[in-house]
């Protein structure tokens, strides 16, 4: 079974995807009536943490899938399933916006880990895109040492950015 088969089997459950796409932001909005801004010990923070993970993991995967199809496969995004490619991204952004209006993300347990996952996935994707786009240059001019040098420079920038981000 290929990844394309998995995407097609997920797309076969369009009604469930649509229901989840509507219910998660709606649940965050309804739970927001109980939460007060800055209330750190409330039980809703843990519910929000679960809700954040429920929307961020599929959202991150949908971002990677959409960007991969756009940049690497050069696929036409007008011909893909909206519920698989774009709905998780919209649900993630909407739900995070609704939750952020009620609760500070610093108070949500585990949000730093999901934020780190987002940053790491973004950096890895950009590095893969740069390597893929510059393959011809490395193949003919710089060779394997140039690729290692580029990877070392990228690693230094990654560590410097991580240190600055997590201060």
CA pair distance 124, 120, nearest whole angstrom: 6
pLDDT value for 158: 78
What is the per-residue burial (b if ≥16 Cβ within 10 Å, else e) of 27-43?
A: bbeebbeebeeeeeeee
**Residue 55 is encoded by which pair of tokens?**
């929307």
pLDDT value for 74: 86
What is the C-alpha R_g of the chain? Answer: 19
Local structure of residue 13 (DSSP, 8 states): T
CB 99 within 8 A of CB 52: yes
10-residue mean pLDDT series, the chain (167 residues): 84 89 92 71 84 93 90 87 92 94 86 82 82 63 73 80 66
* SS3 readout for 36-73: CCCCCCCCHHHHHHHHHHHHHHHHHHHHHHHHHHHHHC
Handedness of CA 127, 128, 133, 138 (dihedral sign): positive
Residue 134: strand, helix, or coil: coil
pLDDT value for 141: 64
Residue 2: strand, helix, or coil: coil
| Beta strand spans in the chain (E) | none
């Amino acid at each position: 079974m290929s990844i394309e088969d998995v995407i097609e089997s997920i797309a076969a459950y369009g009604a469930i995807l649509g229901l989840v796409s509507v219910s998660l932001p709606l649940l965050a909005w309804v739970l927001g009536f109980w939460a007060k801004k800055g209330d750190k010990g409330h039980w809703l923070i843990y519910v929000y943490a679960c809700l954040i993970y429920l929307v961020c993991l599929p959202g991150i995967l949908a971002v990677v899938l959409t960007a991969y199809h756009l940049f690497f496969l050069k696929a036409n995004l007008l011909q893909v399933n909206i519920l698989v490619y774009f709905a998780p991204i919209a649900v993630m952004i909407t739900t995070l916006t609704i939750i952020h209006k009620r609760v500070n993300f610093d108070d949500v347990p585990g949000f730093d880990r999901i934020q780190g996952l987002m940053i790491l996935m973004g950096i890895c994707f950009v590095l893969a895109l740069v390597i893929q786009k510059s393959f011809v240059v490395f193949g003919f001019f710089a060779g394997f040492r140039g690729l290692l040098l580029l990877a070392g420079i990228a690693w230094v920038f990654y560590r410097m950015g991580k240190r600055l981000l997590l201060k």
